[in-house]
Amino acid sequence: MLFFMMRLTERDCEMLQWLVHMKFMLLEQIAKAFFKGRNPHRSPYRRVLRLMKEGLIAKKKVYIEPKDLYVPTKKAVSLLRSKGFTYVLDIPRNDTIAFYGHDKTLTDLRIFFKHRGILSFIPERVIRAIKQGGACPDALIVTSNGNYAIEYEHTEKRLMRYKAILKRYSEREKYMNVIYVVQSQSFIDRVMKTCHPSKNVYFITKESLFRLKGDAKFQSSCGNKHLLIMEMKETCMGEKLSDYTAEFLEEIIKPLPDDSWQAQKPYFRPGGGGGGRKKKQYEQDDYGQEEENTEGDYYPKIYPSIYPSDGHDPCDD
């Protein structure tokens, strides 16, 4: 049984869910997401302090960021599960700073879409929990007019890698549209010239997106075609992550079968033997899997399906 000295609000629970999904948040991000227009160091900070006193939020320091990072605790996870919230994942086990700049911007993107009225933002950790293997986008947005895989490129990679990723999106993935948020227009021009992305792939620079806000336009590789933020908002219907079942999301996230391996010659490691384990089907040519994690958080599990029928929750240990 969990006891609290304070009355938890709906906003408190949503804040804790975001922390579980996004790994961490800065105070300024918490203020923008849940206390719009407020001074971060007043009511937002006081509320965070109260949640910290209840043991639901902890502070973390990393050497690349002078500001405090706020992270969820096991008690927060247990609370959300006890209240029946869906998609309550285990506490992230990986090193927060490994992809700090990338992860911080993903939270900024989620806040950006929330302020545009687009609430159906499915975070990467939830996608990986459902897919349990293979490459995943950084986020997914679901609308009544289609779905959008979101890719944020914090650092540029070799163009050949993007060719492979775009080929996978075109041939195997069931996402109807792909949105790339990148660092520079010159990078967009190079990708379009070299990789020839399909018509449902859109690009925008990070600077343009945050500067233009509701007037932002995503650039298509097909002539003057653009995707407008307002078009996405009009087809969102106010739905959010909790409105979707895991089965519904799985239908979008799971790729089409890949039979290309049948045409490949078997590979034998020099010196004899096949060497290592055989890759699963979804791991074949897994371009786009940007990070590797050896601490067990790369494909988090969804509660409660992975726990024994007696209701035992490892967070209680």
Triad 179, 247, 294: Cα angle to 5°:
65
| Assigned token pair, 240 | 């959010």
What is residue 269's predicted lDDT score, i.e. its pLDDT? 52
| Assigned token pair, 159 | 């163009």
**In order of start, what are the domains of the chain with their CATH numbers?**
1-90+301-317 (1.10.10.10), 98-259 (3.40.91)
Task: Return per-residue pLDDT of the chain as tens, 317 residues.
Answer: 566 667 899 999 999 999 999 999 999 999 999 999 999 999 999 999 999 999 999 999 988 899 999 999 999 999 999 999 999 999 887 666 778 999 999 999 999 999 999 999 999 999 999 988 888 999 999 998 889 999 999 998 889 999 999 999 999 999 999 999 999 999 999 999 888 888 799 999 999 999 999 999 999 977 677 888 888 888 887 889 999 999 999 999 999 887 654 555 554 555 554 444 444 444 444 444 444 333 445 667 666 554 333 444 444 44
What is residue 169's predicted lDDT score, i.e. its pLDDT? 92
Question: What is the model's pTM?
Answer: 0.84
What is residue 279's predicted lDDT score, i.e. its pLDDT? 45
Q: Shortest CA distance to 313 belongs to which of 143, 17, 76, 96?
A: 76
Q: What's the rounded Cα separation, in Å, for the pair 13 and 19?
A: 10
CA dihedral of 61, 65, 68, 72, whole degrees rounded to 10: -70
Q: What size, in residues, is the chain?
A: 317
